[in-house]
Amino acid sequence: MPLTIEKKCIEKGVKLTDQRKIIAKVMSESNDHPNVDELYNRVSKIDSKISIATVYRTVKLFEESGILAKHDFKGGKARYEELNEGHHDHLIDVKTGEIIEFVDNEIEELQKKVAEKYGYELVDHKLELYGVKKKS
């Protein structure tokens, strides 16, 4: 079975180069939210000739094609993750940087309502919670 990302590329008419296949594979297998540097490192282990410029170009392309989601969490570098059906938001441990994904439909609904209240249709949103682990 081909990777979901590859399937999406074909659907969107995105040319499937070797480099893109590798980046797709690495992203599919990543359960975290790598930034471009991290992604570049992982990709380099498979093909050391891939340049970081290609990684930047590819994540941008994948983002525009709805294949990856880009996040600008606090701390500078953009982070990416594969975009699946299930939308989710993030809870970030401010001490360790650990990222927990969560879904809360109640909040989602309320967001739509807020946008509507101001005469807007919600097209996107970003919700990040920053917390510290409680003892015990």
Partner DNA sequence: GTAGATGCAAAGTATTTGCGACAAG
Partner DNA sequence: CTTGTCGCAAATACTTTGCATCTAC
Q: How many CB atoms lie within 10 A of CB 9?
A: 22
| Residue 20 phi, psi (nearest 5) | -65, -35
Contact of residue 91 among a second copy, DNA, none (CB under 5-8 Å per partner type): a second copy
Taking the complex as a whole, how short is the minimal distance between the CB of residue 104 and DNA, in angstroms? 27
Q: Answer yes or no: are the C-beta atoms of 35 and 78 closer than 8 Å.
A: yes
Query: 108: which residues sit within 8 A by CB, 6+ positions away?
Result: 87
**Residue 64 sits in the site that holds a second copy (CB under 8 A):** no
Each residue 95-124 as x (binds a second copy by CB under 8 A) or -, in order, gives -----x-x-x-xx--xx--xxxxxxxxxxx
Binding stretches for a second copy (CB under 8 A): 72, 74, 91, 93-94, 100, 102, 104, 106-107, 110-111, 114-134
